[in-house]
Amino acid sequence: MFVNTQMWLFVLILHVSDSEQAVFAKDSKKSNILYLLADDLRPTLGCYSDPVVKSPNIDQLASVSTVFHNAYAQQAVCGPSRVSFLTSRRPDTTKLYDFNSYWRVHAGNYTTLPQYFKSNGYTTLSVGKVFHPGIASNHSDDYPYSWSVPPYHPPSFKYEKRKVCKDKDGTLHSNLLCPVDVSEMPLGTLPDMENTAEAVRLLDSMKDSQNPFFLAVGFYKPHIPFRIPREYLKLYPIENMTLAPDPDVPKKLPDVAYNPWTDIRKREDVQALNLSFPYGPIPKDFQLQIRQHYFASVSYVDAQVGIILQALDDFGLAKNTIVVFSSDHGWSLGEHGEWAKYSNFDVATRVPLIVYKPGVTSPLSRPGEKTFPFVDVFQGTREQFGKGQGVESVVELVDVFPTLSNLAGLRPLRRCPASSFKMELCTEGFSVDDLIRIPERHHNREAYSFSQFPRPSDSIQENSDLPDLADIRVMGYSIRSTDYRYTLWVGFDPLHCQPNMTDIHAGEMYLLAEDPGQDNNVFDEFDHATVLHKLGILPSWTESLKHHIMFLSSGLKSKGIM
């Protein structure tokens, strides 16, 4: 009896030991990454206190996440922004300001975010628009460097710019406003629906994998054209739509700063308006329709996000997957008399940035409890979710790469030196994982974001929105703090991708406490001469603008303005 008791005790100890090791192995397994990326999405979301847009699934994600309220892109155009945040390098380091070069050839062999995870044992997967297609990603979405298998592109995307928008008389057009009956579309579907189905399929295939995964899903909306299921317009009755609060071009806005929205002018329904160049304006009734269709596109994307997040739950992956939701840049909806992106204003550079880490940003769900049940926006009730863990300090998209690396427990990235063209792996951003692990106690008013935008001339031209590199003659370098948006438009050498910070063409300065919409340019009201002469000798334009803004800040405080 004693011998048997000893034997069973030994077996029990072995069982408990094995169980503890199994639990430890499970807990120590690397976190998966799900990176959800919208296209041209400004923070018009319920979780960002937008009073109009219905985004219940993204709001639900935000309620258990850290929500960065002041996150900014480095250039408000798709290709340059995506290469920037996927390499954690600024456009002057990637040398990509248009769509016409591949950074590994034109600038340096920089390691990308998915490539870094791939080198650390992750299966990396791409669905939809993650890198910008074409030359900017070597016509391969940077495969095989960044991805374990060739990226997925939805077959129906080839119809995106074709004449598929039905007019009242039944004729087909290539329009800006393009609500459709999905069953009538070529292939009977839409690109983001196909992206969602493929993302769900990949999650299913990875649920039992021994390797962690990095899955990036790039939605095509709310990028124009607004080819979306017609039913989403019902969420936004046109009689409830309002114009932008500041629909006029600011009187003191330099010509070089204005974006003439040439891309939407190419659509047949906009051409029919016979608008003058460069200011228009667009008739008010059409402005309301643009805003209606943009908001409806956001709700359409929200539904796709909800389907994917529910699948994450259903496959048992929500407890071990870090989720990021963001965008490549914003989009002007009539503010400053502008439409589209292509500027340094907040409406073009500010993006949503939401990060969920299980057990960190919120407690783990109880057994049987769902974290992300799908919310049907058409049910008519506006779900009330918590606001999540808000961060007010300014952050940048170049911060995402080092932040995700730290959250996943990978080796931290080192900061790039002043010149890093020959350095494959480093970051020009900062990890903000501490703001995710520990709630923000003090709003850091000394945090800055930096953006830039190229122009071919001081005057407004047909190619002002997106000049080719060879045509760039002026670069608008902008710094955004809690209190200011400050921009210098300076001479630029496209051959060497080099600015001349002492060749000032124009300037903008907005005091955000009294001018949050950035409509009153007070640049000419301040004496800049005492600091401008120093800008040419500082190591980088980011340091130059930071130095300048600190000088102006001290001057404002001495006058009692701040």
Could you give the residue numbers annotated as active site? 78, 132
User: Whose CA is closest to 74, among 65, 85, 64?
Assistant: 85
d(CA 292, CA 290): 5
C-beta neighbour count of 390 within 10 angstroms: 14
Contact 436, 66 (CB under 8 A): yes
The number of C-alpha atoms within 13 Å of 376 and in the hemisphere containing its C-beta is 4
User: Whose CA is closest to 129, among 220, 34, 68, 230?
Assistant: 220
What letter represents residue 316's amino acid?
G
**Partners of 326 in the β-ladder:** 37, 353
Contact 479, 486 (CB under 8 A): yes
Tokens of 187: 């292939």
Stated as kind and residue range, the H or E segment containing 422 is none
C-alpha of 67 from chain center:
13
d(CA 317, CA 235): 32
Contact 397, 81 (CB under 8 A): yes
How does DSSP classify residue 107?
T
| Residue at token pair 């204003």 | 345
- Number of helical H runs and strand E runs in the chain: 15, 18
d(CA 455, CA 463): 8
**105 contact partners, CB below 8 Å, separation of at least 6:** 138
Antiparallel, parallel or unpaired: β 321-327 and 350-356: antiparallel
The number of C-alpha atoms within 13 Å of 133 and in the hemisphere containing its C-beta is 12
d(CA 11, CA 256): 78
Q: Residue 276 class from Cβ within 10 Å (0-12 exposed, 13-18 middle, 19+ buried)?
A: exposed
List of E strands, 19-122: 32-38, 66-72
**353 contact partners, CB below 8 Å, separation of at least 6:** 67, 68, 71, 324, 325, 326, 395, 397, 400
User: Whose CA is closest to 508, among 241, 256, 183?
Assistant: 256
d(CA 43, CA 71): 10
What letter represents residue 323's amino acid?
V
Antiparallel, parallel or unpaired: β 226-229 and 177-180: parallel
